[in-house]
Structure 1
C-alpha cells in the first residue's frame, strides 16, 4: 500500500470532475437533507424544526419537513394539519405530502391519527423512516428537514447509515443536564461522519411582558459555550416565549403568525446562518454502488475540493487505480492506495474479529490471493461496505479505520526502509 500527499503531487484521475461547495443533490430533486436532533426530549426540538423550516422558506427556498419521530409524532398538531384522513398516493405508490403554509410535510401522525399509538419494533421504525424520505413525491426541494426523536438510537443510526445527510443541527437548552446529553448526541453524529452544522440554544431567557424584566430560567449561554469548546458553529439563541407555545398549540407557527416578533426574527437569523454553513461545507461524494470489475457506478474524484485544512477522514474521491488497488483521496489532500486483499484481511465484522476481546478470527491463509470486491457501496457518510468474490459481505470499513490503516502501513513502510 502506498500513500501520497495530494497537495505536493496532484494526479488527475480518469473521468475526474469537480463540484461547487454546495455539492450535488443528495437524493433526486433534493439538494440538502438536514437532521434536527437533540440528546434528550423537552428541549423544543420539534418547535425549532417547524419554525426553522418556515424561516428557510421565507428566504426563498423550497422546503420539506419529515416528522422522523415515528413513535411520538407532533408536527401535524404544530402546523394544524388534519389527521383524520390518510394521505393520497400517486399511481406509482408514492405518498403525496400534506402542505401547510407552503411547507410540504409527512408524519406518522397522518397515518395513525391523533390518539392511536404506533406500536412498532426497531426495524419497522427504520422502514417507515426510509419511506417518509424516499417514498414521498416531494418534487424539487432545496432543503428537507428531518425532525428526529431524542436520543441516539435506531432512528439516528438508520439515518446515518442509509441517507446522505448534509448535516445535523443540535438543539439544547442552557441547563447543565441538557447540555451534557446534547453533547453525547453531537458526538454520536460525529462518530458516524455526519457534519455538525451548528448548535441552537433554545429557551435562553424569559422577558416579562408586563415589567420587561428578563430572567434566565434555564441558565444562560451554555449552548454557546459548548459550541466554542467543541469547535462547531453556534447558530443562535432563542428566547423562552409564551407566544411560541400558544402558536404551536393552535397550529400557527410563530414565524408565520407573528413574523415581526423577536422569536421570528431570531429564526430568520438562524436560517441565514444555517445556509452559510451549508455553502461553506466541502463537496462530498454522492451515494454509490460501484461494480469493481467493470467500474460501473464509480464514485467521483473531487481533487478540486482538496485543501490543507480539510478533514483528514472525509473522502473526496475513490478510484480503481488498477484491478488490485483502491485509491482514496482525503479532503486534506492526502491519498492512500490500498491493496484490496489487505482490505479483506482488515475486516472488523463479527465473523473476522471477536467482538469482546478483539481477537482475530480470520486466518489469512484462508483468504485467497486473488480475492477482490464484486462491488463497493457507500454506507451513510462514514463508511464503505464490500461484497467480496469469496462470498464475504458482512463487514464495513469506516473512514476513520481506513485512514488509520493507511497511517499504519506508511509507518511500517518507513521502518522497513
Structure 2
C-alpha cells in the first residue's frame, strides 16, 4: 500500500536522519514494507550513517534519468532498505521539482528524510508527502521552527501524524510535550531520550534499534513504529535487558 511519510524539521541538527533510519528499521522489524529515502539532495548523510559510501545509482540518477526509484535501492546488513543521495558536489544544481514524478508509482511505505527548514528543496519534498512527522528537540528555537513547518505542511494538505521530540534530557529548561501540544494542536507522537547508545551506533554504522534494541532510545523508536503501523510492540523484560547490557559492556 502506498504511503509517503515525510520526516520534517524546522531547522537542522535535530536528528532527522537518526529518526528516519531507526524508525525505518523498527517498522521493517514489525513487518512493514518500508524504504528510507535520503531526499536531502544538497547535504545527504543517510548513506554515511549506514556505512555505505560508494554506490552506482542514487536518488540523483533516478531524478536525472527518469529511472524507477527501486533501481537505487540498497539493503543494509540489518535488512533496512534505503535509497541514498549522492555526496558529490556535481549534483548540487539538480532540480528538486523532479521528485514528484519519482514517487508517483510508489506501492510501499517510503520514509523520506527531508532537508531541514522551508527552502525550495524542503518544499519540493513536502509536495510528494501524504503524511509527515515533524522532528524537534525540546528547545524553544527548534519548537518554533517545528510550528512553522507544521503550518506550511497543513496548508499543503499533508496529514501531520505528530511531533517527535528528540534528544530529550528531562531538564526543567526544556519545553514539555504538553506545552507543545497545547500551542501546536498536534499530538507529540514520540519522545526519544538523549542516549549515548545512539552515538555508539552511528560509529558502528548501524541504527540503535539494531546496535542495542534494549536502549531507551531504541524502545522509543519501536513504540513510535508501533503507533504508525498498528502492530503491537512488547517492551523487553528487565531480565533480558540486564543480560544484554552485561554482554554489551564487555564489547564497548
Give the TM-score taking structure 1 as reference length.
0.49
1:16-415 residue pairs with structure 2 within 5 A?
25=1, 31-81=2-52, 83-87=53-57, 93-94=67-68, 95-100=71-76, 101-109=78-86, 112=87, 116-121=88-93, 124-127=95-98, 129-130=99-100, 133=103, 141=108, 143-161=109-127, 163=128, 165-205=129-169, 216=171, 219-276=173-230
CA distance 1:132–1:247, shift in 2 (3 Å): farther
1:236 CA drift (Å): 1.5
* CA deviation map 1:344-388 (0-9, x unaligned): xxxxxxxxxxxxxxxxxxxxxxxxxxxxxxxxxxxxxxxxxxxxx
**CA deviations over 1:204-247 (Å, ceiling 9, x no partner):** 11xxxxxxxxx62x933434421233222211111111120221
**For 2:225 and 2:153, how far apart are their aligned partners in 1?**
21
CA distance in 1, matches of 2:85, 2:158: 25
**Larger-gyration structure (1/2):** 1
CA separation of 1:199 and 1:224: change in aligned 2, threshold 3 A? farther
More strand by share: 1
- In 1, the alpha carbon distance for the partners of 2:37 and 2:180 equals 27
Alignment partners' CA distance in 2, 1:118 and 1:199: 34
**Could you tell me the TM-score, scaled by structure 2's length?**
0.79
Gaps of 5+ in 2: 231-252
State the distance in 2 between where 1:150 and 1:201 align: 15
What is the aligned residue count? Answer: 222
* Distance in 1 separating the partners of 2:209 and 2:97: 31
What is the distance in 2 between the residues matched to 1:132 and 1:257?
32
Q: Which has the higher contact order (CA 8 A, sep 6+)?
A: 2
Structure 1, unpaired ranges of 5+: 1-24, 26-30, 206-214, 277-417
Q: CA deviation at 1:176?
A: 0.7
C-alpha RMSD over aligned residues = 2.6
Give the whole-Å Cα distance in 1 for the aligned partners of 2:67 and 2:151.
37
* Residue pair 1:235, 1:274 contacting (<8 A) in 2 also: no
SS at match of 1:201: strand
Distance change >3 Å, CA 134–CA 76, structure 1 → 2: farther
Contact between 1:173 and 1:223, CA under 8 Å: does it hold in 2?
Answer: no
List, as ranges, runs of 4+ consecutive aligned residues in structure 1 with deviation greater than 4 Å: none
CA distance in 2: counterparts of 1:244 and 1:132, whole angstroms: 31
Change over 3 Å in CA distance of 1:177–1:96 after alignment to 2: closer
**Matches of 1:184 and 1:265, distance apart in 2:** 29
